[in-house]
C-alpha cells in the first residue's frame, strides 16, 4: 500500500497467509460487533515482517503482523475494527469496466479460478497460494457446469448490452471482488497484485502517501481522520484530526469500503490527489502531493525529571515499532526511570508479533495472548525470559480508539505485570483477519480468529474498562494538542495529567 492500510488490524505475515485483527460479524454465539467505533486504516504507516510469531514456529497465516509469505492482522482502526452496519455499496462500474470484449477463454479462466477458490472456502478449508482444481471438498460437476453457464450468460449480456466496452482485466477483478463480498464479512477483501505489492513494500518502514490515519465513518460515506503525521504532506496542507474525507479526485466515497477509499488516496510519489472533506459541517477540497515517508511509531520523553516518570506514545504496531520502542524505553531506563506512562490512545493496532515483542520488554516467560479459530484450534503468543525485563511502575492510557493489538497488550500487561489502565473504554476489537496470497500475486482477506487475554477474556464488542476512568475536556482533540515531537501538552490533557498524578501517588 502506498498509504498504509493499518486496519485496526493487527497483521501477521507468516508462511502463506496473513491475519489481521478486524471485526467479524456475530457468529456461533461469539461476541457481537461493538457499535460505537469503526474500522480504521492508517494511510501513513503499516508494516509486516517476514518472521514467524514468537514461540509459535512457522506461521500458516499472515497474522497481522508478520511477513511477505503470509501475514496476520488482529487494526486496523486494523484494517481492522468493529463498525456499524454499512449501507449497501454502490457498484463502481467505472472502475471495473473500461473497454474490449470478453472472450470465451476469459470466461473459462475466470470460472476455473472461481471453482478452485470457492471449493475450499465453501468447505471451511484454507486457501493456499497453490490453488488446485476442485477435488475433495470442492464443487460438484453439476455445480461447476451451472457456474460456467451462468458466467457465460452474464458475459454475453454485458457484451451485448453494456453501453461501454468491457475490459477483460477489470471484469475479472470485479467478479473477484464480488465473490469475496459474497461472504458477508465486512472485513473480507480481494487484493489485486498491485495492492498486495503495496503491502509488502510497507514492511520496509517506508511508504508513499499523504500521511494520515483514518477510520470508517459511521455513516459509511467517508473516512474519519484519526491522526495526521506531522512530517507528512497532509499536515503541511492543513488537514486536521476530526476531518471527514468523503471523496478523492471527484469520486465520492459513499458506500465504499475503507480499502476502496484508500485505493483512491494511494498513488505514485510526486503525484497529486485532491481530496474532498468535511470540517465542522463545511465541505472543502484540498490538493495534496503524495510523498515518501518514514514510519515513526514511538515518541518519548522524561515527563517528570525530578520523579523519574517517563512517557512513551506508541501510535501503531508496525514492524519498526519494536526497535523504536526498545530504543526509547532503554534510553529512559538509563536516565533512572522508575515509572512509565505508556500512551496507547488512538492506536488502532498492528502486527501481533510486534506487540508481543513490546510486552516482552516487561514480562517474563508466559502467555501474552492466544487465538482460537472456528474449529477451536489454539495458537499462543508467548513472552520469554532473558533477565532484562523492566522493573518500573506502569500506567497505560487507553481510549475508544485503542483497538486490537493495543487492547491485547494492555490486557496482558494489566493481568501479568500489574499495569494500571487509565482513560476511557477501549475499542473492543478482539478478532483477526487472515490474508491468503494467491499464485498470481493477488490475495484475499477473511476473518479467521478471535483473540483472548492471558486470563481467557475475549473483549470483542466490549473493550477494556480502565481502572481509572477519565475523559479529555470538552472540545479537546488529542492530535491537536501534540507538539512536533508527538508529546501532548499536559496542561490540556486531563488523561495524561491523571496518569502522572497517579504515578506520583496523588
| Residues 6-24 pLDDT 10s | 333 344 332 333 333 333 2
Would you say residue 151 lies in a domain?
yes
Establish how many alpha carbons lie within 13 A of residue 317's alpha carbon, considering only the half-sphere containing its beta carbon.
46
pLDDT value, residue 459: 95
Would you say residue 134 lies in a domain?
yes
Evaluate if residue 44 carries a pLDDT over 80. no
How would residue 204 be classed by pLDDT, with cut points 50, 70 and 90? Answer: low
DSSP H helical ranges for 182-273 = 193-202, 233-237, 258-265
How would residue 214 be classed by pLDDT, with cut points 50, 70 and 90? Answer: confident
Structure-model confidence comparison of residues 317 and 502, the more confident one: 502
Would you say residue 141 lies in a domain?
yes
How would residue 227 be classed by pLDDT, with cut points 50, 70 and 90? Answer: confident
pLDDT value, residue 202: 64
pLDDT value, residue 402: 96
pLDDT value, residue 481: 87
> What predicted TM-score, i.e. pTM, was given to this entire model?
0.67
DSSP 376: -
Judge contact between 259 and 41, C-beta under 8 A.
Answer: yes
How would residue 226 be classed by pLDDT, with cut points 50, 70 and 90? Answer: confident
Range of the domain at 168: 93-185
Q: What is the number of structural domains in the chain?
A: 1
Would you say residue 76 lies in a domain?
no
Evaluate if residue 298 carries a pLDDT over 70. yes
Structure-model confidence comparison of residues 336 and 38, the more confident one: 336
SS3 of the chain: helix, strand, coil, percent, to 5? 25, 25, 50
Would you say residue 408 lies in a domain?
no
Tell me which residue has cell 501510535: 315
Alpha carbons 117 and 184: distance in angstroms, whole number = 16
pLDDT value, residue 39: 37
Would you say residue 270 lies in a domain?
no
Please state whether 235 falls in left (phi above 0), alpha (psi between -120 and 50) or beta. alpha
> What is the DSSP secondary-structure string of 258-316?
HHHHHHHH---TT-EEEEEEEETTEEEEEEEE-EEEE---EEEEEEETTTTEEEEEE--
Evaluate if residue 128 carries a pLDDT over 50. no
Alpha carbons 98 and 162: distance in angstroms, whole number = 11
How would residue 492 be classed by pLDDT, with cut points 50, 70 and 90? Answer: very high
Ranking 22-26, 183-187, 257-261 by mean pLDDT, the lowest is 22-26
Structure-model confidence comparison of residues 30 and 418, the more confident one: 418
Q: What is the average pLDDT score of the chain?
A: 76
pLDDT value, residue 434: 83
Structure-model confidence comparison of residues 261 and 41, the more confident one: 261
Would you say residue 171 lies in a domain?
yes
Evaluate if residue 58 carries a pLDDT over 80. no
What integer is the mean pLDDT of 279-304?
A: 93
Evaluate if residue 262 carries a pLDDT over 50. yes
What integer is the mean pLDDT of 178-198?
A: 85
What integer is the mean pLDDT of 212-222?
A: 81
Would you say residue 468 lies in a domain?
no
φ and ψ of 431, to 5 deg: -130, 165
Evaluate if residue 473 carries a pLDDT over 50. yes
pLDDT value, residue 43: 37
Amino acid at each position: 500500500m502506498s498509504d498504509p492500510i493499518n486496519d485496526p488490524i493487527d497483521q501477521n505475515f507468516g508462511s502463506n497467509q496473513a491475519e489481521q485483527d478486524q471485526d467479524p460479524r456475530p457468529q456461533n454465539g461469539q461476541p457481537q460487533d461493538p457499535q460505537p467505533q469503526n474500522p480504521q486504516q492508517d494511510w501513513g504507516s503499516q508494516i509486516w515482517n517476514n518472521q514467524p510469531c514468537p514461540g509459535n514456529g512457522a506461521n500458516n497465516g499472515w497474522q497481522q503482523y508478520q511477513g511477505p509469505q503470509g501475514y496476520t492482522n488482529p487494526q486496523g482502526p486494523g484494517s481492522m475494527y468493529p463498525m456499524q452496519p454499512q449501507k449497501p455499496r454502490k457498484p463502481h462500474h467505472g472502475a471495473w469496466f473500461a473497454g474490449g470484449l470478453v472472450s470465451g477463454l476469459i470466461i473459462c479462466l475466470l470460472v476455473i479460478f472461481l471453482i478452485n477458490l470457492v471449493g475450499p472456502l465453501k468447505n471451511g478449508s484454507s486457501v493456499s497460494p497453490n490453488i488446485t482444481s476442485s477435488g475433495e471438498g470442492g464443487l460438484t460437476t453439476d455445480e461447476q457446469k451451472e457456474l460456467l453457464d451462468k458466467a457465460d450468460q452474464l458475459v454475453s449480456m454485458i457484451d451485448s448490452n453494456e453501453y461501454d466496452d468491457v475490459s477483460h482485466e477489470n471484469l475479472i477483478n470485479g467478479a473477484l471482488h464480488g465473490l469475496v463480498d459474497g461472504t458477508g464479512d465486512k472485513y473480507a477483501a480481494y487484493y489485486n497484485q498491485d495492492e498486495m505489492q503495496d503491502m509488502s513494500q510497507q514492511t520496509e518502514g517506508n511508504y508513499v502517501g499523504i500521511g494520515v490515519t483514518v477510520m470508517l465513518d459511521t455513516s459509511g460515506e467517508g473516512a474519519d481522520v484519526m491522526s495526521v503525521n506531522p512530517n507528512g504532506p497532509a499536515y503541511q496542507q492543513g488537514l486536521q484530526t476530526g476531518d471527514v474525507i468523503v471523496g478523492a479526485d471527484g469520486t465520492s466515497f459513499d458506500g465504499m469500503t475503507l480499502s476502496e477509499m484508500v485505493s483512491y488516496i494511494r498513488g505514485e510519489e510526486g503525484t497529486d490527489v485532491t481530496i474532498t472533506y468535511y470540517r465542522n459541517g463545511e465541505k472543502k477540497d484540498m490538493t495534496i502531493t503524495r510523498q515518501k515517508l518514514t514510519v515513526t511509531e514511538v515518541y518519548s520523553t522524561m515527563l517528570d525529571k525530578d520523579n523519574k516518570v517517563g512517557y512513551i506514545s506508541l501510535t501503531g504496531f508496525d514492524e519498526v515499532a519494536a526497535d523504536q520502542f526498545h530504543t526509547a524505553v532503554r534510553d529512559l531506563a538509563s536516565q533512572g526511570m522508575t515509572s512509565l506512562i505508556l500512551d496507547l490512545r488512538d492506536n488502532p493496532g498492528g502486527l501481533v508479533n510486534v506487540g508481543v515483542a513490546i510486552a516482552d520488554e516487561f514480562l517474563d516467560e508466559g502467555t501474552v495472548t492466544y487465538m482460537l479459530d472456528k474449529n477451536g484450534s489454539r495458537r499462543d503468543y508467548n513472552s520469554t525470559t532473558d533477565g532484562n525485563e523492566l522493573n518500573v511502575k506502569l500506567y497505560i492510557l487507553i481510549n475508544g480508539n485503542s483497538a486490537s493489538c493495543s487492547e491485547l497488550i494492555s490486557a496482558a500487561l494489566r493481568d501479568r505485570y500489574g499495569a494500571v489502565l487509565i482513560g476511557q473504554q477501549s475499542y473492543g476489537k478482539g478478532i483477526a483477519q487472515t490474508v491468503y496470497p494467491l499464485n498470481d500475486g493477488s490475495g484475499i482477506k477473511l476473518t479467521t480468529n478471535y483473540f483472548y487475554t492471558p486470563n481467557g477474556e475475549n473483549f470483542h464488542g466490549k473493550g477494556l474498562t480502565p481502572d481509572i476512568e477519565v475523559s479529555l475536556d470538552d472540545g479537546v482533540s488529542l492530535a491537536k494538542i501534540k507538539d512536533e515531537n508527538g508529546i501532548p501538552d499536559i496542561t490540556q490533557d486531563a488523561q495524561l495529567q491523571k496518569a502522572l498524578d497517579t504515578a506520583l501517588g496523588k
